DNA sequence: CCTTGTGAATCGTTTCACAGCC
DNA sequence: GGCTGTGAAACGATTCACAAGG
């Protein structure tokens, strides 16, 4: 298969959310134009995004909402469930551990870890914070594919090294640090400072703002 | 000025972080190649990014670390401070309100708001959660430029409408909903579901992962 | 007639490569 | 000699436009 751009995957995720909304509203069929409108893109873009993976529509008619939901879920890899460990049970880690959107979308939080003895044993909804010393053993046992990193910046790289060595194949990094992963591991980073700085840039250069 | 790509702004923010690190280590001067290495890009990219805004280096020598920090801060609009309101004092809103990285980078949280009476009056570090009915009055008084939205998806659009009408010019949306802003307002969204789904896609298509 | 799927054209970003300068 | 700044080339993504199919 050809290389797929991240922007395409991001839009597919967006389409999926809209399609689910259309489905709950009982709409059976949808055109690329309608879908484009919800997502702020163009009909050609929607069709091109889908065309990388196959032909899902009927000419003259559009896409079956239910079918397209199934196809996109399949494309994104949501036809199965994924196991997630959250590393760092501070404010953000705890908030994520209790975030219902995770489970709702098939991402099961199988463990939350912290180094701080005062956090270990704390219960977050139905999950108990464990000692970070247990990480390797638990990863070998529970085989989570994804680690979500919510620790201070200076602890981030060492923990990523540990979890990837133990077999984690994808990392979502909320720590304010640039981290590196071995080849074969997928990495994404959400950096609050960068998001705010992009906003500040937009505020400072109103003549050429993106939105 | 020519239009600047978001990817350029994002990298500038990244360079700034590395430069600050180099500065604390006492390094006086840096080449585009060194900077590129830290940020996982190329020296040509670094030079091109900077060239949109001027000439900051010395040929044969590189860039003065301190000077370049100043120049990038100026470019990003960090030579002044920005006021932020956080809307929604649930888990994520509260975590952000107490996040030190905000203030450290010149973003002052001047208010946290919630609709839920049981949250109103709660103190988060040195700031007290206020009733969301006070939003408009407070925005008129304190003139925050940025709103960070941490509310349930179905409440998001109405709140964005309110804060933009009251004068907020940039919105960072953590709510799991697609929202629209008037022209002239900068919008960014961080969507947990999308981030995880991009990871799931990467896990499901190992032959063509991005990293 | 309406809407998809897609090659071709366009547009934007990154990489190359080198002249200019310290 | 080494490194910047920058046009030009290469690459990649989006948009166009239309043939094909219901």
Domain CATH number, residue B134:
3.40.50.720
3-state SS, residue A64 = strand
Q: Name residues 170-209 of chain A within 8 A of B (Cβ).
A: 170, 172, 176, 178, 180-181, 183-188, 190-209
Residue A210 lies in a domain: no
Share of chain B above pLDDT 70, in %: 98
Domain-located, residue A204: no
Whether residue A94 lies inside any domain: the answer is yes
Question: Above 70 in pLDDT, residue A209?
Answer: no
User: Which residues, other chains included, contact A75 with Cβ-Cβ below 8 Å and sequence gap of 6+?
Assistant: A12, A53, B201
Closest CA to B13 of A192, A85, A98: A192
Write down the residue that tokens 């304190």 correspond to: B142
* Domain end marker among A74, A90, A115: A74
Q: Across the interface, do A197 and B16 touch by the CB < 8 Å criterion?
A: yes
Please state the rounded mean pLDDT for residues B166-183.
96
Closest CA to A13 of A62, A42, A37, A49: A49
pLDDT of residue A211: 43
In the predicted structure, residue B85 carries a pLDDT above the cut 50: yes
Q: What is the pLDDT of residues A67-77, one digit of tens each?
A: 999 999 999 99
For the CA of B162 and the C1' of C13, the distance in angstroms is 36
pLDDT of residue B101: 86
Q: Which residues of B touch A192 (CB under 8 A)?
A: 96, 99, 101-102
| B210 touching A (Cβ < 8 Å) | yes
Q: Is residue A135 part of a domain?
A: yes
Question: Does any domain span residue A205?
Answer: no
User: Does the structure show a pLDDT above 90 at A60?
Assistant: yes
pLDDT computed for residue A207 by the predictor? 73
Q: Which residues contact A188 (CB under 8 A, 6 or more apart)?
A: A170, A171, A172, A173, B195, B198, B199
Nearest CA to the C1' of D13 belongs to which residue? A5
Interval B12-31 mean pLDDT:
97
CB B52 within 7 Å, strand C: no
Do B91 and B58 lie in a common domain? no
What pLDDT, on the 0 to 100 scale, is given for residue A165?
A: 98
Q: Based on the domain organization, do B70 and B103 belong to the same domain? A: no
A102 confidence band (pLDDT: 50, 70, 90) = confident
**Cβ of residue A2 lies below 7 Å from strand C:** no
**Among residues B37, B52, B74, which one ends one of the domains?**
B74
Distance from CA of B91 to the nearest CA of A (A): 5
**Residue B60 sits in a domain of what CATH number?**
1.10.10.10
Q: How confident is the model at residue A208 (pLDDT cuts 50, 70, 90)?
A: low
pLDDT in tens, A127-140: 999 999 999 999 99
For residues B211 and A91, which has the higher predicted lDDT (pLDDT)?
A: A91
In strand D, the nucleotides that come within 7 Å of a protein beta carbon are: 1-7, 12-17, 20-22
> What range does the domain containing B65 cover?
6-74
Q: Is A169 on the interface with B (CB under 8 A)?
A: yes
Are A115 and A132 in a shared domain?
yes
Token pair belonging to B38: 């830290």
Give the pLDDT score at B1.
75
B47, pLDDT greater than 60: yes
B37 CA, C19 C1': separation in Å? 25
Give the mean model confidence (pLDDT) for residues B118-144: 97
Per-chain mean pLDDT for chain A: 95
Average pLDDT of the segment spanning A30-52: 97
pTM of the predicted model as reported, rounded to 2 decimal places = 0.94
User: Does some domain include residue A34?
Assistant: yes
- Tally of domains within chain B: 2
């Amino acid at each position: 298969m050809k290389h797929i751009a991240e922007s395409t995957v991001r839009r597919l995720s967006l389409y999926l959310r809209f399609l689910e909304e259309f489905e709950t509203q009982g709409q059976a069929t949808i055109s690329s134009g309608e879908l484009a409108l919800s997502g702020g893109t163009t009909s050609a873009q929607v069709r091109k995004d889908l065309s990388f993976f196959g032909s899902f529509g009927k000419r003259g008619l559009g896409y079956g909402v239910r079918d397209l939901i199934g196809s996109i879920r399949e494309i994104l890899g949501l036809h199965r469930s994924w196991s997630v460990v959250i590393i760092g049970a501070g404010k953000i880690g705890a908030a994520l551990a209790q975030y219902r959107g995770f489970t709702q979308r098939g991402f099961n939080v199988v463990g939350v870890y912290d180094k701080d003895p005062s956090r270990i044993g704390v219960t977050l909804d139905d999950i108990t914070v464990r000692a970070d010393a247990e990480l390797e053993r638990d990863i070998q046992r529970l085989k989570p594919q994804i680690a979500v990193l919510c620790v201070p910046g200076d602890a981030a790289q060492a923990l990523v090294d540990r979890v990837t060595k133990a077999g984690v194949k994808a990392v979502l990094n909320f720590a304010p640090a640039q981290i590196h992963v071995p080849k074969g591991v997928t990495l994404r980073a959400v950096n609050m400072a960068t998001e705010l700085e992009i906003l500040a840039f937009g505020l400072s250069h109103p003549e050429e703002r993106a939105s």
